Structure 1
């Protein structure tokens, strides 16, 4: 049974079931277990001298451990591989979280702030409606790449071992890959490897959004926006999503009470947006998912004929 067919089954299973509360309220999610391991290593090693070397050791432990565990799990058969892949994809849950922000904004600005605080790390208490909407759409674009396309890509390339390596490093980057005094050295290796692992998926996500929205004529603008972005990868899907929806994204925002004057993405487009644009972003998430599933299905069909 081909890896491509397994991925199609996993994507379909994730789209149908998502992350059921009845299961994960009783059993720890694999991503939570990975986070627990990283947190334990952080507490034990992130102090004293040679923090960059210690951080590199953490990355090596995560990679070797993920490859080994992934290889063992792969031996259990295709059904287990499909289930593991479905669990570590995040399409349905991503759409649900983003849609919750739109529903919250329809209720009140306070409710919108509460919902968006669940998916972004920036300060949300004083956000305007437009800032809430932009934050949700930016999260949708970035997590479409990080939570759906990238894990699917690495599963396709290297099966369950590749998928587990990606999820471990991506989780490590989200926990220790910050440019703060505490993590600048210790999280350096995790952040750089995460940048590498997302290099192709982020640009692939961008291309799919552009293909679906027909914005090829503005490709040079998207490249320019992506290169100005604080992240080497997140700017690509954000730039494409901004033009697909005809909205401005990014711009100044607050972290820990400090305003960061970040560059606008598609800055000449409307900035005063709200719930309707958030719902349109959700539609685009499903459209990209459908395109990915369709391309994989065509590949399986062609391979079968050949």
Structure 2
């Protein structure tokens, strides 16, 4: 099966290099590329590819490329493409992994790391399928040039060199029966001077800004203060579970019991707490409404 991909990078030379490596894999099919945040979002919404190669630390800051592009996709798409980050710095690796990206590749791209990333992507795509028994191994084919084949022949000292085909070499993974497991909830660690406080994300009702710190309100009535800004939490929290609805609030989508659009208020389950939402975050509120309606839902 061929999987389509888009490249989003502020440098056209890097776009070309990424495309050249990706097109060596027969299961990948190039669609288009973009150099800015807005063009990238529009391309993804238009083509809805399986995979996106994304630069998140551009040399051209006017391109506005960053991890926030992934958040934007969740506003419009039910199924967001798999993301492989391609960048020059290691600094954002931890933040990127919070967005559940497939892999984080450093430039200049290395073919061995790239191959591993594609295999991870292939496995992730298959894990999204319904429960099924996989009877046949899955192969990701990489097209080799003549020079690389000669190198392989030299390394293959104990085997018949004629066994090597010039067109492609299959990398095969034996896969056992796929068994779906329940999703594991995110654990949020609030660290302060050697004190590690672990919080199950399902226990969080909402985050509230308090100057340069953030108060985390839990369903047991407890409040924990983290010395990070609300903007920081907006960047690292998974948008599938947490959305910002106000300059002062990020809400757990799964803890919403009522939304009153006339009064611009969201209500929290099993409590009298109600949080205001602002017009600038109305799209996020609309997204909450659509997500709830997309579940096991009856409207009367």
Q: TM-score range by the shorter chain?
A: under 0.3
Instruction: Judging by fraction of residues, say which structure has more strand.
Output: 2
What TM-score do the two structures reach when normalised by structure 2? 0.28
What TM-score do the two structures reach when normalised by structure 1? 0.27
Larger Rg over CA atoms: 2
Instruction: Judging by fraction of residues, say which structure has more helix.
Output: 1
